[in-house]
Amino acid sequence: MNESILESVKESDVKLVKKESLSKLAVFALQKQVEVLKLKEFAVMIGFIFAATFLRGLLKSFPSSLPSVEPITFFAILTGWLFGPIKGFTVGSSSLFLSNFMVLGGQGLWTPFQMVGFGAAGFLGGFLRKKASIIEVAAVTLAATALYEIFINFASILFGGYSIFAAFIFSIPFSLAHIGSNFAFSLGLPAAKRVVDRAGGFSDAKHFAELVSGLKSRKDGK
């Protein structure tokens, strides 16, 4: 009888060891998936920064280009929507700073205001629902663009010597061009997000992280 009890204890120990090993293996595999997605995320962000920087510099190089038409808001909001507000802010502000080196007279006392303005666009993009409608996306884009214009107008008041009336009145044509072009660009944001999500598998990132957390909690609770 003692032998049968001992055998059953051994069998239960073996099963427990196997269960713990499988649990550790599952956690390890999921953690690797999360790490791969984070690397992909970083690579995509770098790509967005360089794309926004290059395209803004290219647009500004044409003599007949509209000064208020820019691609940074598009990439900043897209980043925020995909990866969250902090990363959206990072892409928006970084793209502006780097692209100013490609624009004649780009850097100046107004640069921090521009960086905050474009960073705010990415930050707001981070609050879009995962499956936000095109109306929601357009509304966030318009709000971000209007916020940017307010920041820049205040920079004109502080460093350009303009009155608040003159700053806002003289900026109307540029503000309208900026708002109109960004609205047009925003219509392509949902399609762009779907493409990046499918290519990178980023929609699974949160799910993987939750699974890792759940498995760890179950293991600790036993």
**Domain chopping of the chain, boundaries:** 21-221
* Residue 207 vs residues 76, 158, 167, 194, 219: alpha-carbon distances, Å: 24, 47, 48, 17, 18
Helix (H, G, I), strand (E, B) or coil at 123: helix
How do residues 52-61 score in pLDDT, each as one tens digit? 999 999 988 8
- Stated pTM of the model: 0.80
Choices 2.70.150.10, 1.10.1760.20, 1.20.1250.20, 3.40.50.300: CATH for 21-221: 1.10.1760.20
Give the number of other Cβ atoms within 10 Å of residue 55's Cβ.
17
Between CA 1 and CA 90 the distance in angstroms is 69
pLDDT at 5 > cutoff 70: no
Res 106: pLDDT:
79
Residue indicated by tokens 């921090």: 112
Residue 62: CB atoms within 10 A of its CB come to 8
40-89 pLDDT, tens digit per residue, is: 999 999 999 999 999 999 988 876 567 789 999 999 999 999 999 999 99
Task: Of 121, 1, 127, 136, give the one whose Cα is nearest residue 70.
Answer: 121
Q: What is the distance between the alpha carbons of residues 149 and 145, in angstroms, rounded to a whole number? A: 6
Report the sign of the C-alpha dihedral through residues 60, 62, 63, 66, in that order.
negative
Please, what is the angle between helix 85-99 and helix 72-83, to 10°? 160
What average pLDDT does the segment 148-153 reach? 90
Which pLDDT does position 2 carry in this prediction? 46
